[in-house]
Structure 1
Amino acid sequence: MPHVVTVFLRHGGRVLLARRSDAVGTYQDRWAGVSGYVEGDPADAERDARRELAEEVGVREADAELVRAGAPLSVADEGREWTVHPFLFDAGSRDVDTNEELTAVEWAHPTEIREREAVPGLWAAYRRVAPAVETISDDETHGSAWISLRALEVLRDAAAEADSRDALASVARRLRDARPSMAAVENRINRVMSESNSDPKSVRRRAEATIDDAAEADDAAAARAAELVRERGYDRLATLSRSGTVLAALEAAEAAEAAVLVAESRPGGEGVGVAERLARSGRDATLTTDAALPGLVAAGGADAVFLGADSVLASGGVANKVGSLPVALAATRADVSVFAVCARDKVRGDDRFVGEDAGALYDGEAAIATENPLFEVVPADLLSGVVTEDGVLGAEEIGALAAEHAALAAWDD
């Protein structure tokens, strides 16, 4: 039985669908992922997946990050049987360079697979690597912008298969409640359910539109922050944790000349990956400890601090990874600007702060209580502003957004 790879290349919430040409031996003119035969040991099929990405669409290893390798599945069709090894990669951009095996490519929501003349088993292969509720609840690496997009994908995919809105409402509640500290997850799920009707197809279409809007909003917020760096002439920046929006701002062209001081961000160490990515893109990146960052900022190591935001409270404070408060205090004392960078959807409808505990701080035998919070609040008076896709928001604008987002929750009353 031949073994093949099927690669789903994702950017934002869409995947690359490829139409097979008459230069291939099977399923000509059908839609597929990036695919090809496994030439070596099937246990090392990732190598074949990366080879096909490079050959068929010109995406090199540095341009795509492996997200998930799915369990192989058997596909039988008209007397033929295949073992399909599905993979999901995140692409850095939507730039592709196709070869003669493809007649067309399109960045589409994967739910469209069900409506196209596709190769056999393509939807089943996608479902092996698609995000699930556990992707949202268990993720300890990514920021809330990334996680909220994955939550929307789960709801979209469920809507494609659902028979009733009641079943979708159950999925929506699980997603909404999976990360209570992350306002974008709650707001974006609430928006889909609030703005759709009882037909699952309506939920799917609303989820697809919200995914596209959310991806654009996150990119626009990053662009606004990069403009701020350029306009104010900041050339020494500091950050911590792994906000995808902040990272995109730091990678943007306007920030190319700025040196970046990055805290490692314990206990997950997400800052290490941020520093590596900045260094690989040619930025001047310095990695430091969480404990050292406030002192370095206070001593003149940065002229602006950029924080992510898991949530922006209705009162204007920002909930973010622990370590944010001491660096904001140090920056304020040293007259260094502190900005939070996020999409508008991270504004909560209230002032509720929901923390999470990392645990595993002490495993000895003494009777010692522990507190190992993952998040904390930076009060509004320590912030120079909250940079969103609409620019820098003030207290009045944040309050109006909070009221709007609170109203979205009415779908579940």
Structure 2
Amino acid sequence: MAAQVHNFQKRAVVSSFIFQFPNGPSEKPLVALFKRSDKVSTYRHRIAPISGSISRKDKNPLTAAWREISEETKLTPSTLAFWRTGKPFSFVDESVGREWTIHAFAFRLKASAEGEEGENAIETDWEHEGWQWYDPSAVIHDEIFESSGVPHLRESLRRVWFEGEMNERTGKGLGAALEKLHYDHESGSHELTAIALKAFRDFVIQSQDGMNNASWWEDLRMAAWHLVKNGRESMGAATLNALLVILEEMDEIWRLDSIPQDKLERMLTIIDHHLKGRNSRAALVTKTFASYVQSNFLSEGNQREKLTLLTLSASSTIRDSVVEAYASLDIPTLELRILESRPLFEGVSISSSILSNFQSQFQNMPNKNLVINIYTDAAAALAAKDVDIVLLGADRISRSKGVSNKIGSLPLALSVKHVTPTAKVVVLSELEKVNGENGIIDDQELEDNDPTEVTRTWNAEAVKGADLVVGAAADSEKDRSASTVSVRNVYFEWVPLALVDAFVSGEGVLTDARIHEKANQQEELASQYIDSIPVRY
């Protein structure tokens, strides 16, 4: 008898969980669940988060989530804040002839909207016949929600609220680490990766009581996913690569037939080894950069009185490499041109750091001179005139998109190619920042940050008309039907590979083949350790 073939209709949907924290952000929250009405096409009278299909017009699943929330609850970014992304999963429901792919998201009611005001902020539409707050732990653990909720409600919630399946210390620890990573706008990706690896190490220790269960290895891989996706995704390529390599090595230990304590100690040794090795790899980038300058600008018989470098932002790799490379090169004067890098003025910060390092390292060397010129971001073309090297950092390297770096990097690269075609655009980066195409980190997504970082400078300088613009932007956030004004604070942009002359790393000057090889390695490991995390409920 021939096997029966099922042609299930495939549907990608968003499931958005709205949380409030009545006892403070560090305490246990409540989650809002909505009872579907008899007017919807599926799962009538079942309890569910705010759900809906992802349409072709939606830019991405998160856009669809915001649209559905606005339509079904009237909540907007003025009352609600995006919190977490859940790892997508799929399942088949033969009763409705569908194969669902669930994209779960978590949102937090803003402080002014919580409590009694939060009750009033939510206005349901025809798709629901009621709603109420629930203890999220009860939803995850109480099997009654299997019958009263939509299919895999507990799994969807678990994907965004992992605290429900962990002991209190482990859940709070991972949650605090994600908050730290997400709101750290000072550290570079190298430092953020170290923070993430230490948090991962803490997770291993705090969750060790569960090592006797097969689900512990699944939780470990899910924790790694959260540290990348819900930490600082835009700067998470290095974290993803580092965690995948660690998971691969830990996997061998996990499979051994030995007591949990022995496994734990060996796994911690692996993590400690990778943490210790990070410092030495950063030093290798500096050494390679000095070698690159020597071979390209100080060839035999070519003595120079001055080397002129142009950069922006506060990359620790650039900061350390510039001073150390200059110390090893036979060049009397180093001229640094630095864009101030708004809105946080990282260019000023890196100028201060380099100046401080120079004064301490070269105070007894009169033959070494440092000249720093700081330019506004809009003066990139002027700053690019007659420079030798434009130095860029990298938060991500994509074989299809190019280099993701601080906003302003693309105008700078374009300017120097036009104004000084002989200059070299050099990216200083470790190989671990290469991102593959496994879909964990979305190369299409732009990190749009708090607009007050931009507007507070206007306010401080009493810019004429700023109050009207800021007020209109606030009104637009509350009422999308009004004339809209938005203040955008995008941190990163892509510089195409065609504009980059060299990728300088600890492994040497990277070739296209080496970048592709690293991207392929990430895709293979992600498929093995992240994509394969099973559905539990």
TM category, shorter: 0.5 to 0.7
1:176 aligns with 2:228: yes
Residue number in structure 1 paired with 2:435: 348
> Which residue of structure 1 lines up, in the alignment, with residue 275 of structure 2?
211
CA contact (8 A) 1:314 1:398 kept: yes
The reply to whether residue 313 of structure 1 matches residue 393 of structure 2 is: no
TM-score, reference length from structure 2: 0.50
1-side partners of 2:282 and 2:445: how far apart? 23
Aligned length: 284
Q: What does 1:30-41 align with in structure 2 at a 5 Å threshold?
A: none
Matches of 1:392 and 1:132 in 2, distance apart? Answer: 34
Structure 1 CA distance for aligned equivalents of residues 491 and 504 of structure 2: 23
Output the CA distance in 2 between the equivalents of 1:203 and 1:354: 34
Structure 2 distance, partners of 1:293, 1:280, is: 25
Confirm or deny: 8 A CA contact 2:436 2:522 kept in the other structure: yes
Deviations 1:212-263 (A, max 9, x none): 2332222211221132233324700011111111111112023684221111
CA contact (8 A) 2:241 2:433 kept: yes
Gap runs ≥5 in structure 2 = 1-171, 255-262, 299-305, 359-369, 455-468, 473-482, 533-537
1: CA distance, partners of 2:489 / 2:197: 30
Unaligned 5+ residue runs, structure 1?
Answer: 1-126
Distance 2:396 2:413 in 1: 16
Does 2:238 match 1:194?
no
Partner Cα distance (1:352, 1:276) in 2: 32
Query: Does residue 382 of the first structure (1) align with residue 382 of the second (2)?
Result: no
Pick closer, same or farther for the CA change 1:316–1:398 going to 2, 3 Å: farther
Matched ranges for 1:10-409 at <5 A: 132-163=177-208, 164=211, 165-166=216-217, 167-177=219-229, 178-182=231-235, 183-197=237-251, 198=254, 199-231=263-295, 232-233=297-298, 235-252=307-324, 253-254=327-328, 257-282=333-358, 283-297=370-384, 299-300=385-386, 302-315=387-400, 317-333=402-418, 334-335=420-421, 336-350=423-437, 352-360=443-451, 363-365=470-472, 367-409=484-526
What is the alpha-carbon distance in structure 2 between the residues aligned to residue 141 and residue 214 of structure 1? 19
Contact 1:264 1:287 survives alignment (8 Å): yes
Instruction: Note the alpha carbon deviations across 1:82-112, whole angstroms, 9 max, x for none.
Output: xxxxxxxxxxxxxxxxxxxxxxxxxxxxxxx
Pairwise CA RMSD: 2.5
2:247 is paired with a residue of what secondary structure?
Answer: helix
Determine the C-alpha separation between the residues in 1 that align with 2:238 and 2:375: 29
Instruction: Please state how far the C-alpha of 1:168 moved relative to its aligned partner.
Output: 3.1
Q: Residue 73 of structure 1 aligns with which residue? A: none
Q: Matches of 1:340 and 1:310 in 2, distance apart?
A: 10
**How far apart are the structure 1 equivalents of 2:240 and 2:444?**
13
For the residue of structure 2 that corresponds to 1:239, the secondary structure is strand
Shift of 1:316: 7.0
Tell me, yes or no, if the aligned pair for 1:242 and 1:271 is still in contact at 8 Å.
yes
Q: Which has the larger radius of gyration?
A: 2
For the residue of structure 1 that corresponds to 2:275, the secondary structure is helix
SS of the residue 2:336 aligns to: strand
Shift of residue 146, structure 1, vs aligned partner: 1.2
Cα distance, 1:190 vs. partner? Answer: 1.8
Give the TM-score, by structure 1 length.
0.64
Q: Is the 8 A contact 2:284 2:506 kept in 1?
A: yes
Q: CA deviation at 1:359?
A: 3.5
Query: Quick one: distance in 2 between partners of 1:397 and 1:168?
Result: 29
Q: 1 CA distance for matches of 2:406 and 2:445?
A: 12
Tell me, yes or no, if the aligned pair for 1:355 and 1:375 is still in contact at 8 Å: yes
CA contact (8 A) 1:180 1:186 kept: no
C-alpha distance in 2 between matches for 1:294 and 1:191: 41
2:50 alignment counterpart: none
Matched residues in 1 for 2:201 and 2:443: separation?
Answer: 28
1:145/1:353 Cα in 2 relative to 1: closer, same or farther (>3 Å)?
farther
The alpha carbon displacement at 1:344 in A equals: 0.5
In structure 2, C-alpha distance between the alignment counterparts of 1:222 and 1:398, rounded to whole Å: 19
Contact between 1:193 and 1:411, CA under 8 Å: does it hold in 2?
Answer: yes
Deviation of the 1:355 alpha carbon: 2.1
Secondary structure in structure 2 of the residue aligned to 1:357? coil
